[in-house]
């Protein structure tokens, strides 16, 4: 079942608006409302991207990064070696 890209875009913009509202009303670090809104944006974006590609074979220049992927790409400090001339 395909989703109309316009409907997916409306969901994405709604998720972005909710994220802005949650961020502006943040109650400290780790506010669960902000975190939930963050993930809602990521999920809505992926639905939009899939719908856009399915309908028009097109993508956006944006990418959702997963924290786990970033951690895998980082090189631990203890593996670095300083070479002096």
pLDDT one digit per residue (tens) for the chain, 85 residues: 689 999 999 999 999 999 999 999 999 998 999 999 999 999 999 999 999 999 999 999 999 887 665 555 555 555 666 666 5
In sequence order, which ranges of the chain are alpha helices (DSSP H)?
5-24, 32-56, 67-73
pLDDT of residue 81: 61
pLDDT on residue 57:
97
Residue with tokens 């972005």: 16
Residue/partner pairs of 17-25 with CB below 8 Å, 24 or more apart: none
- Whole-structure pTM value: 0.74
The b/e string for 23-61 (b: 16+ C-beta within 10 A; e otherwise) is eeeeeeeeeeebeebeebbeebbebbbebbeeeeeeeee
């Amino acid at each position: 079942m395909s989703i109309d890209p316009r409907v997916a875009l409306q969901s994405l913009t709604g998720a972005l608006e909710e994220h802005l509202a949650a961020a502006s009303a943040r109650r400290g670090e780790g506010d669960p409302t902000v975190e939930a809104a963050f993930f809602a944006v990521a999920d809505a974006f992926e639905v939009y991207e899939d719908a856009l590609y399915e309908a028009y074979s097109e993508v956006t220049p944006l990418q959702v990064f997963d924290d786990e992927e970033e951690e895998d790409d980082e090189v631990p400090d203890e593996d670095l070696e300083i070479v002096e001339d």
